[in-house]
Structure 1
Amino acid sequence: MKRIYIRIGIILLVTVILIILLTIGFSLHLVDNFRVDLLILFIVLEVLVLLHGAGISGLYLFRNLQDICCNKKDMHQVKPFLFRIDNQGKIEMSNTTCEDNIKDIAKFKTVYDFDLIKESYDVMLDIERQQSLTVVFESTATGPLFVRFLILKNGKKYYLIGENITQHQKDSEFHSNMPLYNSVTKLPNKNFFGIKLQELFDNPEQLIQKNSLLAIDISGFRNINKLFGYKIADQTLIELGKIIQENVNHKSTLYHLEEDTFVILFKNMAPEAVERWAETLFEVINKPIKVEENLFTIEVNIGIFHIDPRQDLRLNPVMALHNAQLALEKAGSSDKTKIVVYDQELGAAYESEQLLKIDLAQALKREEFYLHFQPQYNVLTKRIIGFEALIRWDNPKYMAYAPAKFIEIAERNNLIIDIGRYVLHESLKFAKLVQDENIRISINVSPVQLLHEGFVSELLQAYDDYDLHSQQICLEITENFSLEAQTEISDPVKLLKNKGYLIMLDNFGTGYSSMLYLQDFPIDGISIHRDWIKNALNDKNAKQTVLKTIALGLSLDLEIIAEGVENEKQSEFLRENGCTIIQGHLISKAVSQEEALIILKNYNN
């Protein structure tokens, strides 16, 4: 027993010494990665325990630990490849690792000069989204040099930090058993599709024939995953694949690209015939299908692109698939049709959106955004109780654009985070200015912002930074998020509520599942969309919608704001039915901060 205690004592002593040694090494930069050193420590200790019982000296291992750490230090001195680029893709700097290993590095002026392993529709777009890139260079030694870059954004610049994966790439090519079939449906997958589409483009005679791509996905597929589980979702994909496969002919091939996206490549088939086939398939799929003893009616979206290189000499496989997916996205967002054929107008709209996205990014740098404030008025107390902050864009190119239009595009491209940050701080400055007037400021917040890492923390910190009163800021959350997003933002909303923010559901009744929001969110009020108010006095359905919304809000003790109130008749109708807070041109349009202060003084003093 005494010998056992001695062994345990030795192990504990060595453990303490190793921890001290590694800590000192880390502080003196003798060791580069503390977590890896701890891993080494635990491995050594494990070996120490095992070998001590076998009579092998632990002190021998300890004396050699310094050599282990030194070797590790040498290993970590291998510097990564590094490029710095601006937001247009121009290369501003490269480090010595690049210059020593990449042949003719001076010829690379922009990222568009890179030879990418995976072809990209727009490499700069991938960099902005911080997607990793694998580039093949000509090595200064022999043969190709494969470098995988991770993207890091720092202010206005992007850093491409690369790792030499040449050996890994060679191993991958050597073991080139690339999976060609989807693991769920057993249909040819994206890899197989890429090969066949490239073969089509490599065959000029076949390419000029009448060929088309038809893309299909399921509306709300993620909800099937969430509500019924992956097993049912996978079986749904299998059944859908079978239905499509039963309807394709010898001139077409079905591929399952990813998740719920299927693509059919039609060869030598007239565009009109492809479109008629799509309509027939749509009718077939709309019938209930049996999945695990359950009957499902699924709704699909269909996007079609007719491959015609004469229409666009730049057309390549990546662009062809991209165009089919554009049509598919359009079908998914359309209320009128679920089958969309790509045309020049759709392409031009996409290009226009890309230009607008670039201008949106520049707008913040050029300080083109500004805020206007629209008063919210209590018809009983006859006082202004708050203002809604509304963003405006001072750019002649987009004077005709409603703010909702560019905000929608900003949300799709993650630009809403920076724009939302600007709106937040400008609104809080105004809130601080009117703090003594007992006035609140309402800010529109989208689910995209609430789901973005760090945004909620910034909101929480901002309240303290501006030293605001509780409930002085109201967050109007846009009711345009799905059931899946609803669950994810519930906890952040509760945190904000506890901090002192008021929570309102903006445009209640126009989104996905209004009643579920009332159940799950700790909201203080709702706003009624201006379109319902506009038609409430002359349209039976609009009137009943407004009345039911007011009644529901009152029964739940919620504040109700009617937006878009233009005249006294509308105001009186709302007051008589229990809605006492109005917003609209009857009181004032959205005005500058200076004008808002004058309006506040005129009404409340």
Structure 2
Amino acid sequence: MGPGELTPLTVALAVLVLALTAAVVMLVLARRRDAAARAEASATVERRLAVVLSAGRDGVVVHAASGAVLVANEAAAATFDVPVAQLVGRRVGELPVRWVTEQGQEVTPASVFGRRQGADAPPFVVGALPHTGGPVRWVQASTRLVGAGDGDLLTVLADVTGPREVRAALAQSELQFRLAMENAPIGMGLADPQWRLQEVNAALAALFAVEPAVLIGHDLSALSHPDDRGVERAQVQRLLAGEGERFSLEKRYLRPDGQVVWVVLDVVLVRAADGAPAQFVVQMRDITESRLQSEALAHRAMHDPLTGLANRSLMQDVLQRACEPPDAPGRIAVLAIDLDEFKQINDRYGHAAGDDVLIHVAGVLRGATAGRGLVARQGGDEFAIIVTGDDAARIAFEIAGSIHKGLVNPVRTHRRQLPIRASVGVAVAEPAILTAGAMGMLAAADAALYRAKGGGRSRTEVYDRSMTVTAGAKHGAAAELVHAIETGELVLHYQPTVALATGQVVGYEALVRWQHPERGLLLPGSFLPTAVEGGLAVALGTNVVWQAASYLARTADTGRWVSVNVSADQLGNGELAAQVLMALSRHRVGPGRLVIELTEAGLVDGESRIRHELAELREAGVPVLLDDFGTGIAPLSYLRDLPVDGVKLDMSFTAGIPEDPAAQRVSRALGALARELEMITIAEGVETTEQAQFLHACGWEYGQGWLFGAGESERVQAEGRTHG
């Protein structure tokens, strides 16, 4: 073997060295690849962890056993109101926040970031108050160990601010509801879907005059008045069936002591989240007193206050309805009753004795009728009885006989015995009479009554067609006026009342006119005597009052008043006063906007019933003025004895100003007297500027007359053509 030749051993060693070298290189390369893969994997994990931490709604803080913050997410930074960078590296005890309990007590950081012992330890809710002054965050803190031994700690700060605020709001709402319910002045309660009371407040218990515990578990229907129970249950079932969410009823309940109470029942059904009925919220407002007052007012408006009998309005309404059916002929009978020589009793023994007689006669009429008809007082000593049914004629004759028999015994009053007799006229419905309706029946009965009086009195006469002429123009005119009232032919014109100091319109006087379909516009002088003679004065006055109240309701924004004229003939039985109060209530007219002007003519000195009626109106907020002041009899005694708020100077005095010195002196003196009594002062008949200036200088506050407007219809006023 030569020197340059390789031995097999040498070759083998060389190959081995090369193999080892290659293996080493491969190993180094493999380790480098593994290190890069691990680094990439670690970076991926860190990126994913960062994404998870940043996306989480709860705050996350990783801190060493020493307390140093290693990792924190954005949610944790928001809790402390600082950037994440200001958290990492700081100790948990140095974080810029103050920890408090729900009761406001301070909490140490160690309590928040320390591990809580026991798996069943309740959640730890704490408030974080950032030093920056940011909003408080309520969190539920929980800490656990990351790794083994003394490794790092992970604290999760779950934000419960929203749910806590919701719970607080619900608790506050519940508290407010309870307080409102317990202290509400009206009755309130909660009922289950079976309409059984679950909770009631003191006001509801007081409404039933029991302790609250007594009502719990009661079915409300069991407490209802039997006549109202069906309507109540129907409304409850309607809500349970999904037809609406609430209802309101005006109904009656029976208290355990048997007393009836009227309430306005308001009910709302509350449903659960799934739509099922949960409970009823019940409210009851006691309206017993107002209901009774309303019923009393309605009764007064339809009944005579002295005798308690139906008044003319109710009687005519009942009679008119009875006349409308096609089978009315033969089934209606009307008795017109008039006392004989009653005026002599009033003149000789006084109105107190006359009242006793009227009350006695009313009792006799009730007894004679025995519930078989409607007994009414038409006015004064005139009465009527309406009988309906198949035996109307026979019953009417029996009643007439019983009336004469019942009046045989004298009336005992003020230690006197006064003999009383009555004349009776009977009319049975016939087709010819019924064409004029109720007024036709009354006119026929009146015709028979006058025949009875002309035949010797204390008798009964039955209407026949020969009496048509006797019924005459009086009854025809009265029937025509009734028709005018019922069909709206009576209209009001409004004469302005102005403040003399400024000329501004402050109110109006309502002047009634009859818009006759054939005779044109009629002034009061052409129909007021018919109203008085036909007993229609109250009906006419009532019509005027309701029209004026309606006008006041339509012009509520102006604040102006309207005065209506009332005579003594329309007062004394309470009917007109009741209609005034009812009209004001129905149209919701404010106090003081409707004014009563009382004429002196016909007033009776010492008439207590008129005085009482005026006082009642005044107490209800209706001012009373004395019209035509300075004329008539005893004006000074009227100012002393009658409840009046003001006076109207009669135009006869105004007309003499300024030429007549006597008129000047009287106007000045009457004005001074009224002012001394602190009364409203209005001068009528003002036609010139000189008169207005003189009266104002004399202290008269308001004026009426041609200078300011003679009186216009509501239509003209609405067009803006008022004066002043």
Class of the TM-score when normalised by the shorter of the 2 chains: 0.3 to 0.5
TM-score, normalising length from structure 2?
0.39
TM-score, normalising length from structure 1?
0.45
Give the number of the structure whose alpha-carbon radius of gyration is greater: 2
Higher relative contact order (CA closer than 8 Å, sequence separation 6+):
1
